[in-house]
């Protein structure tokens, strides 16, 4: 049986989706996850315990296991383990992203330098220690600008400022976030630095793609129909196929291709985000990993029956449609992405926004939301009594709504209609709960 190494932050939804996909394909997953190795297999998944912040030791631990348990492919889920994945693939002689390229993709400062050096459209930016004096910053920037951390994701810590007062407030807020216990626990030097960039107006798109020995195979271009103008940048709706003119889509693919080449990414999944306006396509970032959370469920792929014969002989042929996770696993063991195309229907996901800070008591209307025409599923992932923290500090969603229909417009309407059926009972947090919460976070850091 072929074995794929999966590096993941926790045993979350995405890891479970990979588990299900692996069973369908007939691949054995070998997990490596970030955890404390004094606990003896606490998750009962025989995962290799590693520490993402200690990359060399993590690579060594994985290679040690790989000596007795040969590995045929490597995948990373989430931003943090992408460099370890690249190093492991390189050491095992498997195709993957070069470690240097993965390191650039994980760090917004390195990425900005790289894209600028390649002559690609990029916002003017400055880097600054998070301990800098905001008065100094003021002399360096123009407005509107965006303050952001170098190595977080999901728009965490990203804030727009339109004037000096907002810039000072945003900078203080980012410093407090980067100095919080759960972020300190990542032990990344990147969290000592912030970027302040020119705000790029325009429409935003996400590109999900697979690189195959250097060739870019686009899996989907997502429209983000809600304006993302700040002050915070909460993701909501993703819909594919894009309704933008073919010329815009071609320009997006061309610029992402150029950016991928500049960064040096070569083989494996990528997730890119772009802003488009009259000046061109601005690549905001390219991550060396697939789309996160449950969002992947908005994607399904059909295999082209005429091209079945070209795949790895050891795998059974796919039963269409297949999930993104199944496609990624097949690719990780050598299958060519050109055999697959996104299914023909339009599809979308809404990351359910957190309406306000507080303790989630109840979500009502889930069944009514599920009955909205073209709604495929409504998944509330926040747990009752969970503390909900909105952006810019928060790092989780309330849940996800999925819809599928013949046109992207219908998908978008269904997502909004389903969301309108939901009501959220959220209690103001009590000081005592806040204390418990922060202790909890420290204990798990």
Residues that bind Ca ion (CB under 5 A): 273
Q: CB 154 → ligand ADP: shortest distance, Å?
A: 5
Q: Is 17 a residue that touches ligand ADP (CB under 6 A)?
A: no
- b/e burial code for range 328-353 (CB count within 10 A of at least 16 → b): bbbbbbbbbbebbebeebbbbbbbbb
Q: Which of 123, 225, 241, 290 is close enough to bind ligand ADP by CB under 6 A?
A: 123
Helix (H, G, I), strand (E, B) or coil at 360: strand
Q: Which is nearer to ligand ADP, 48 or 391 (CB)?
A: 391
Q: Say how far apart CA 353 and CA 399 lie, in whole Å.
A: 8
Q: Which residue number has the CB closest to ligand ADP?
A: 233
Alpha helices, DSSP H, located in 245-334: 246-263, 324-332
For 114, residues 6+ apart whose C-beta sits below 8 A from its C-beta are: 104, 262, 263
Q: Which is nearer to ligand ADP, 200 or 349 (CB)?
A: 200
Q: Which is nearer to Ca ion, 66 or 178 (CB)?
A: 178
Q: CB 105 → ligand ADP: shortest distance, Å?
A: 11
Q: Which of 9, 58, 153, 347 is close enough to bind ligand ADP by CB under 6 A?
A: 153
Residue 184: how many other CB atoms lie within 10 Å: 13
Residue 166 tokens read as 């907002």
Site for ligand ADP in 216-255 (CB under 6 A): 228, 233
Residue 206 tokens read as 């996400």
Q: Which does 349 bind (CB under 5 to 8 A by kind): ligand ADP, Ca ion, none?
A: none
- For residues 193 to 212, the per-residue mask of contacts with ligand ADP, x marking binding by CB under 6 A and - elsewhere, is ----x-xx---x--------
Residue 323 tokens read as 């999930």
Helix (H, G, I), strand (E, B) or coil at 266: coil
Q: CB 243 → ligand ADP: shortest distance, Å?
A: 18
Residue 33 tokens read as 């996850």
Residue 149: how many other CB atoms lie within 10 Å: 25
- For residues 275 to 314, the per-residue mask of contacts with ligand ADP, x marking binding by CB under 6 A and - elsewhere, is x--------xx-----------------------------
Q: CB 144 → ligand ADP: shortest distance, Å?
A: 8
Q: CB 179 → ligand ADP: shortest distance, Å?
A: 18
Q: Say how far apart CA 126 and CA 167 lie, in whole Å.
A: 13
Residues in contact with ligand ADP by CB under 6 A are 108, 123, 146, 148, 152-156, 158, 197, 199-200, 204, 228, 233, 273, 275, 284-285
């Amino acid at each position: 049986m072929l074995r794929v190494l999966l590096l993941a932050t926790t045993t979350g939804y995405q890891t479970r989706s990979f588990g299900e996909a692996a069973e369908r394909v007939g691949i054995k997953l070998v997990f490596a996850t970030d955890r404390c190795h004094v606990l003896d297999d606490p998750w009962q998944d025989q995962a290799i315990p590693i520490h993402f912040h200690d990359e060399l030791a993590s690579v060594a631990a994985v290679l040690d296991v790989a000596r007795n348990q040969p590995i045929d492919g490597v995948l990373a889920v989430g931003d943090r383990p992408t460099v370890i994945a690249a190093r492991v693939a390189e050491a095992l002689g498997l195709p993957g992203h070069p470690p240097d390229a993965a390191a650039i993709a994980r760090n917004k400062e390195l990425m900005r330098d790289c894209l600028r050096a390649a002559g690609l459209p990029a916002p003017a930016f400055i880097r600054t220690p998070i301990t800098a004096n905001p008065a100094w910053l003021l002399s360096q920037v123009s407005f509107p600008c965006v303050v952001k951390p170098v190595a977080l994701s999901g728009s965490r810590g990203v804030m727009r400022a339109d004037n000096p007062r907002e810039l000072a407030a945003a900078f203080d807020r980012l410093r407090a976030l980067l100095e919080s216990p759960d972020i300190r626990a990542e032990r990344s030097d990147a969290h000592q630095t912030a970027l302040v960039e020119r705000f790029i107006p325009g429409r935003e798109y996400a590109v999900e793609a697979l690189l195959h020995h250097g060739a870019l195979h686009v899996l989907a271009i997502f429209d983000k129909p809600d304006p993302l103008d700040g002050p915070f940048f909460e993701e909501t709706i993703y819909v594919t196929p894009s309704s933008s003119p073919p010329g815009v889509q071609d320009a997006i693919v061309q610029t992402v291709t150029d950016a991928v080449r500049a960064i040096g990414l070569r083989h494996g999944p990528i997730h890119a985000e772009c802003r488009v306006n009259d000046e061109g396509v601005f690549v905001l970032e390219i991550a060396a990993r697939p789309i996160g959370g449950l969002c992947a469920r908005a994607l399904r792929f059909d295999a082209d029956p005429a091209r079945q014969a070209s795949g790895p002989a050891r795998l059974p042929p796919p039963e269409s449609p297949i999930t993104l996770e199944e496609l990624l696993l097949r690719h990780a063991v050598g299958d060519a992405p050109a055999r697959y195309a996104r299914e023909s229907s339009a599809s979308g996901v809404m990351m359910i926004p957190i309406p306000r800070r507080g303790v989630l008591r109840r979500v009502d209307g889930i069944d009514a939301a599920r009955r909205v025409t073209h709604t495929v599923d409504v998944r509330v992932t926040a747990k009752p009594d969970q503390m909900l923290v909105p952006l810019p500090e928060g790092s989780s969603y309330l849940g996800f709504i999925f819809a599928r229909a013949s046109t992207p417009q219908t998908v978008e309407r269904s997502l909004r209609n389903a969301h309108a059926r939901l009501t959220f009972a959220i209690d103001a947090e009590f000081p005592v709960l806040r204390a418990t919460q922060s202790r909890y976070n420290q204990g798990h850091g």
